[in-house]
């Protein structure tokens, strides 16, 4: 279950989200917003979702069916611990 947080709020995410990918058109034209503030969000992924991304999956859902997030092709980032 993916999570949308901006890079600032990403420092307060649960530990299971160990890396992130960028949504399409991040940051200027992205429609994905952080769940905690109004900044553009990135898509935080669990280890299992990171493996799915490596296998070609680009659409990830959260813990409800309200919306899904579409990642771009830039790859996995894990700069924030
Ligand atoms: Zn935020």
Domain annotation covers residue 49: yes
pTM of the model: 0.93
pLDDT by residue for the chain (81 residues), tens digit each? Answer: 999 999 999 888 888 999 999 999 999 999 999 999 999 999 999 999 999 999 999 999 999 999 999 999 999 998 654
Expressed in angstroms and rounded, the spacing between residue 44 Cα and the centre of ligand 1 is 12
Domain annotation covers residue 78: no
Alpha-carbon distance of 30 to 52, in angstroms, equals 22
Token pair 């990642």 is found at: 71
Q: Domain residues for 56?
A: 3-70
Task: List the strands of the sheet with 19-21, edge to edge.
Answer: 3-5, 42-45, 19-21
Beta strand ranges found along 1-81 (DSSP E): 3-5, 19-21, 42-45, 59-61, 68-70
Count structural domains, the chain. Answer: 1
Q: How many residues does this entry show for the chain?
A: 81
Expressed in angstroms and rounded, the spacing between residue 80 Cα and the centre of ligand 1 is 14
Residues lining ion ligand 1 (Cβ < 5 A) are 6, 9, 34, 36-37, 39
Domain annotation covers residue 80: no
């Amino acid at each position: 279950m993916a999570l949308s947080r901006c890079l600032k709020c990403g420092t307060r995410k649960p530990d299971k989200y160990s890396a992130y990918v960028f949504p399409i058109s991040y940051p200027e034209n992205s429609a994905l917003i952080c769940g905690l503030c109004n900044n553009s969000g990135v898509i935080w992924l669990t280890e299992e979702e990171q493996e799915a991304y490596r296998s070609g999956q680009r659409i990830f859902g959260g813990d409800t069916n309200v919306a899904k997030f579409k990642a771009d092709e830039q790859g996995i980032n894990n700069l924030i611990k």
